[in-house]
Amino acid sequence: MMKHLNIASIPGDGVGKEVVPEAERVLKTIAKIHGGLSFTFTHFPYSCEYYLEHGEMMPENGLDQLKPFDALFLGAVGNQELVPDHISLWGLLIKIRREFEQVINIRPAKQIKGVESPLANPNEFDLLVVRENSEGEYSSVGGTLYKGEDEIAIQNGVFSRKASERAMRYAFDLARKRNKHVTSATKSNGIVYSMPFWDKVFQEVASEHPDIDTESQHIDALAAFFVTAPEKFDVIVGSNLFGDILTDIGAGIMGSIGIAPAANINVNGKYPSMFEPVHGSAPDIVGKRVANPIGQLWTAKMMLDHFGEEELGKVLLDTIENITSDGFLTPDIGGKHSTKQVTDELIKRLKAQS
């Protein structure tokens, strides 16, 4: 049966415009090899340049335009020379994440063959962080009081059973397809209401999944273990803040932010999910044609997985590792190849396998 995916493509700013077209080229190649799959990419120019012209990051009905698509494929947003970051990010990226109820953020970290990790002698690691993406520490509940010496800021964390459970169940489902191990990031020795609650909910969800091994680790120790023994982990579930920090360590130990992928998942099916690499618009290298396409490509692999095309996703990631281990590397990971040279080689090898 023919499967057709309608993708809204938002290259955004900076290197987003350089890596998104390359990843689309790769996805189209993969679809052709597969035979039963096809993609349509509809492009949306929402970006800081769009803001300069229209006074907003996307039109008022922008979300309505994006809603009917199967998924959103986004590059990067931000150009501080044109628009302050809080306007560009909140006007586009964060707006989409919130309004489209993308309540789960997933970010894998894996040792990629041929890419040097900053860790001296890493054992092969392959982990996946599931981050609660809708509440937790990143809430707008709180306020400030007084000025000067007596100034006070209060920031409340919001932890609902519904959202905590949802993130945990998502983690267990993913673990079942992987190495059947879930680690919960906690801090119940220091944060005395929300984290014991988190632990309790985790216990409950864990008891429904007797086939999955579980453990709870305090976030500080967990952060250290990500550096000293990342191979110990399979799936890690954490609150918004803990997940945010862990995923940056994950990107760090892989060797470059230019290769780290991410997905923002809508789980109720009311809106599309959004696939975007971890990196930003990289203004320091924009226009030099050296942006690493792997972050965007791996993000494309996550999109394939999301639509049940895990086999193709695996072919894509294996072929990426195939070319990195043969030295087809952009400068951020120690090579001298251009964005296009890396993608051309990838496409050549994908075609050769078909």
Task: List interacting residues with Mg ion (CB under 5 A).
Answer: 244
Q: What residues does 110 pair with on adjacent strands?
A: 126
Nearest-approach distance from CB 94 to ligand NAI, in angstroms = 9
Nearest-approach distance from CB 347 to Mg ion, in angstroms = 31
Q: C-alpha 70: how far from its chain's center? A: 17
Query: 238 vs 7, 108, 125, CA distance in Å?
Result: 29, 14, 19
Query: Among residue numbers 284 through 323, which ones bind ligand NAI (CB under 6 A)?
Result: 284-285, 291-292, 295
Q: Which does 305 bind (CB under 5 to 8 A by kind): ligand NAI, Mg ion, none?
A: none
Which residues, at least 6 apart from 321, have a Cβ–Cβ distance to it below 8 Å? 112, 113, 114
Nearest-approach distance from CB 111 to Mg ion, in angstroms = 21
Query: In this complex, which beta carbon is closest to ligand NAI, that of residue 83 or of residue 222?
Result: 83
Tokens of 282: 């990289």
Extended strands (E) in the chain: 3-12, 37-43, 71-76, 102-110, 126-132, 142-145, 152-155, 181-186, 213-218, 235-238, 263-266, 273-275
Number of residues counted as binding ligand NAI (CB under 6 A): 25
Write each residue from 13 to 32 as x if it is in contact with ligand NAI (CB under 6 A), else as -, in one continuous string.
--x---x-------------
77 belongs to the binding site for ligand NAI (CB under 6 A): yes
Tokens of 307: 């639509």
Q: What residues does 286 pair with on adjacent strands?
A: none
Determine the 3-state secondary structure of 17 from DSSP: helix
Nearest-approach distance from CB 348 to Mg ion, in angstroms = 34
Q: Which does 243 bind (CB under 5 to 8 A by kind): ligand NAI, Mg ion, none?
A: none
Query: In this complex, which beta carbon is closest to Mg ion, that of residue 22 or of residue 244?
Result: 244
Taking CB under 6 A as the binding criterion, the range among 56-64, 75-83, 171-179, 303-311 that sits at the site for ligand NAI is: 75-83
76 belongs to the binding site for ligand NAI (CB under 6 A): yes
Spatial strand order of the sheet with 213-218 comes to: 37-43, 3-12, 71-76, 273-275, 263-266, 102-110, 126-132, 235-238, 181-186, 213-218
Taking CB under 6 A as the binding criterion, the range among 77-85, 147-155, 171-179, 235-243 that sits at the site for ligand NAI is: 77-85
